[in-house]
């Protein structure tokens, strides 16, 4: 292993830099923190798609879910729709957001752009820039002048919050998908990426980690390449089932050829992967539906990809998105990616929920529960994992559709290790497997079965208090006192070993509280229990105005509730929701209810809903088509008002361990 590499920050003369208390660096295998291997979890949240009132709770919930690093695009269009000075008011208050990240005890990785994609109009470029005549994403002086002016405004907001100033900013990303989704390629592309980094450094930006997206031929120009992977491809313009994702297959290949396939299929890497740790920044925390393609993403999809990437050698799990949001409204146009201006896809005008672990209004989804335990595994065993050799067994399936053998890989150090197994796929009909000839770290494992749909990380020769976990089909997630907790089944440990085993159904309602593992029906965020339940006293009276339009009158919302949400069971093609004549939310139909947070909109007393009908010949891919009683479908079937309260954690929660 090569010595840790520490980036040399460039500090402007006006900043009095103090040495950071923690040193962040990297080797070819992992990120490091104070010289020790570090395998963190990173989650994307866009401050400009939320409100400042949401930030503290959203960030606290991300932290409770296991996130160590908060990443966010800086979306140029949101800040500077016109040629007037960039705005940093209200939801654009970048300084306040980064300060809140620090307040929550989290780290920050800012994605500077200038082009970000992010399913935004023109990839985040303001219309005035697109129409300026400058050669965008090049070394054209007119373009660089505009970028420099914007970045100087951004720097003025975050100066004082860099790591060497005692702040949380440890990472900076330049551009996005450059050389793959637009931009220059080859030497000219390398030159431009270096120009952008030099410009940022000259302005005063600095961090131990500089990154660039590396998939699909993306140009990284010597910066840390970050990779991605999604369970499906809602940007794919085919309207039928597409081939199974390669992200469910253990492989030394880091690229995902399906990302950005609407722009083109990249078939190579522009960097030597042997020189850099395997970092991800865009593991799909969900999927954002488009007008033409609307695949569902569930907790298994997200968890399986996470474990497959770890089993393939990944040293950073970064999720896009981890927290959904709502697009702000522009003064001159809407801000969504739209085919009306030549973008490749049509997105909802406002809703950017992404089916993420935390939804557009911060609602907790099942993938949040699953990822917090994967994070616990990383925090306790990530340093050991980083030093382990990765072995891809002979005969391991490399084609996503191959069901002839079990997908698995091994990471070990000669004495102990982990077996990563995936018998899950989004396509049905996986067979069961019996494994009876597997040796890891010198131990012949007992025969074990892997059922269809099962996946996990299984320890071998794991040292625990007073003994050894010889083998288990269970993920170790750390210590409770002197006892090691594992989640799964089939635990085989030496006599006297301090271990405890729970199943995954129990783990989804299990939380560490005051040094004990306790059961809670509701999620626990810090010292609060998040209680969400239907409110029988609240009213949501529905009145149909015509075939496609409805009015909802909301009443009896209690002042002492922390928040309310309206769950709308509807059917159709496209739903739009207005309050006082202003579009506040919208959605494409996915076959599941839509959730509208009410605090975000001032708890309106009246809503106007419209549904564009779905027809049998609508050009769209749906996971499952509904039954049609007539030529078209547009209906609201049920409304449920949910009350949301943050309460102190009860003292009488049942103790599991």
**Model pLDDT, residue 488:** 98
Other CB atoms within 10 Å distance of the CB of residue 58: 23
**Model pLDDT, residue 116:** 98
Helix segments in 18-80, DSSP class H: 55-64, 76-79
- Beta-bridged to residue 457, according to DSSP, are 420
Give the separation between CA 427 and CA 408, rounded to whole angstroms: 18
Helix segments in 39-140, DSSP class H: 55-64, 76-79, 94-103, 127-130
Give the separation between CA 82 and CA 332, rounded to whole angstroms: 9
**Model pLDDT, residue 5:** 57
Q: Which two tokens stand for residue 220?
A: 């990284």
**Model pLDDT, residue 213:** 96
Give the separation between CA 238 and CA 254, rounded to whole angstroms: 25
Q: Which of 190, 284, 168, 174 shows the shortest CA–CA distance to 233?
A: 284
**Model pLDDT, residue 256:** 81
Provide the CA 46 distance to its chain's centre, in angstroms: 11
**Model pLDDT, residue 14:** 36
**Model pLDDT, residue 68:** 98
Q: For the chain (length 657 residues), average pLDDT per consecutive 10?
A: 44 41 96 97 98 98 98 98 98 98 98 98 98 98 98 98 98 96 95 98 98 94 97 95 93 83 66 96 97 97 98 98 98 97 97 98 98 98 94 90 93 96 88 93 94 96 97 97 97 97 97 95 97 97 96 97 98 98 98 97 98 98 94 97 97 95
**Model pLDDT, residue 9:** 36
**Model pLDDT, residue 257:** 75
**Model pLDDT, residue 255:** 86
Ranges of CATH 3.20.20.80 domains, the chain? 24-361
Ranges of CATH 2.60.120.260 domains, the chain? 530-648
Q: Is the pTM of this model over 0.85?
A: yes
**Model pLDDT, residue 398:** 87
- Beta-bridged to residue 458, according to DSSP, are 419
Assigned CATH topology for domain 530-648: Jelly Rolls (2.60.120)
What SS3 state is found at 143?
helix
- Structural class in CATH, domain 24-361: alpha beta
**Model pLDDT, residue 6:** 47
């Amino acid at each position: 292993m090569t010595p840790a590499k520490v980036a040399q920050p460039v500090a402007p003369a006006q900043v009095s830099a103090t040495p950071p208390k923690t040193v962040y660096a990297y080797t070819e295998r992992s990120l490091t923190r104070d010289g020790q291997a570090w395998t963190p979890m990173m989650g994307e949240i866009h401050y400009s798609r939320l409100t400042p009132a949401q930030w503290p709770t959203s960030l606290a919930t991300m932290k409770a879910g296991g996130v160590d690093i908060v990443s966010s695009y800086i979306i140029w269009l949101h800040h500077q729709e016109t040629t007037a000075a960039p705005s940093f008011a209200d939801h654009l208050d970048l300084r306040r957001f980064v300060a809140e990240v620090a307040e929550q005890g989290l780290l920050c990785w800012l994605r500077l752009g200038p082009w970000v994609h992010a399913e935004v109009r023109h990839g985040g470029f303001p219309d005035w820039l697109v129409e300026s005549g400058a050669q965008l994403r090049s070394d054209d002086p007119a373009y660089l002048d505009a970028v420099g002016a914007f970045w100087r405004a951004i720097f003025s907001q975050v100066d004082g919050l860099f790591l060497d100033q005692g702040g949380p900013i440890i990472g900076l990303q330049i551009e996005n998908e450059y050389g793959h989704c637009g931009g220059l390629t080859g030497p000219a592309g390398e030159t431009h990426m270096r120009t952008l980094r030099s410009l940022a450094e000259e302005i005063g930006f600095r961090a131990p980690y500089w990154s660039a997206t590396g998939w699909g031929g993306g140009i990284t120009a010597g910066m840390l390449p970050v990779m991605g992977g999604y369970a499906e491809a809602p940007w794919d313009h085919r309207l039928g089932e597409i081939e199974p994702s390669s992200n469910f297959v253990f492989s030394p290949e880091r690229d995902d050829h399906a990302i950005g396939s609407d722009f083109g299929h990249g078939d190579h890497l522009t960097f030597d992967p042997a020189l850099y740790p395997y970092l991800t920044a865009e593991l799909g925390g969900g999927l954002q539906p488009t007008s033409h393609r609307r695949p569902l993403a569930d907790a298994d999809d997200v968890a399986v990809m996470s474990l497959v990437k770890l089993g393939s050698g990944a040293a950073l799990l970064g999720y896009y998105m981890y927290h959904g949001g709502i697009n702000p409204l522009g003064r001159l146009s809407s801000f969504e990616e739209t085919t009306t201006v030549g973008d490749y896809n049509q997105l909802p005008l406002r809703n950017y929920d992404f089916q993420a672990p935390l939804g557009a209004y911060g609602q907790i989804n099942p993938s949040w529960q699953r990822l917090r335990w994967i994070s616990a595994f990383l925090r306790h065993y990530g340093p050991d994992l980083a030093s382990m050799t990765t072995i891809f067994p002979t005969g391991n399936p490399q084609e996503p559709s191959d069901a002839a053998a079990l997908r698995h890989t091994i990471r070990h150090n000669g004495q102990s290790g982990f077996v990563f197994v995936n018998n899950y796929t989004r396509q049905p009909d996986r067979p069961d497997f019996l494994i009876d000839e597997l040796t890891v770290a010198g131990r012949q494992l007992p025969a074990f079965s892997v059922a269809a749909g099962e996946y996990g990380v299984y320890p071998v020769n794991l040292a625990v208090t007073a003994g050894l976990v010889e083998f288990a089909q269970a993920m170790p997630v750390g210590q409770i006192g002197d006892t090691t907790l594992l989640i799964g089944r089939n635990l085989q440990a030496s006599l006297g070993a301090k271990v405890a085993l729970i199943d995954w159904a129990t783990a989804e309602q299990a939380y560490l509280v005051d040094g004990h593992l306790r059961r809670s029906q509701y999620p626990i965020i810090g010292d609060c229990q998040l209680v969400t339940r239907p409110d029988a006293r609240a009213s949501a009276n529905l009145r149909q105005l015509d075939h496609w339009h409805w009015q909802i009158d909301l009443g009896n919302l209690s002042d002492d509730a922390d928040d309310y949400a309206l769950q709308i069971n509807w059917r159709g093609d496209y739903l739009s929701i207005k309050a006082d004549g202003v579009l506040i939310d919208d959605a494409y139909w996915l076959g599941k209810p839509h959730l509208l947070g009410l605090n975000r909109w001032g708890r309106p007393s009246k809503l106007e809903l419209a549904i564009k009908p779905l027809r049998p010949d609508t050009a769209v891919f749906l996971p499952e088509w509904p039954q049609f009683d007539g030529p078209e479908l547009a209906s609201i079937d049920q409304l449920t008002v949910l009350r949301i309260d943050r309460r102190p954690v009860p003292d009488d929660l049942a103790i599991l361990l």
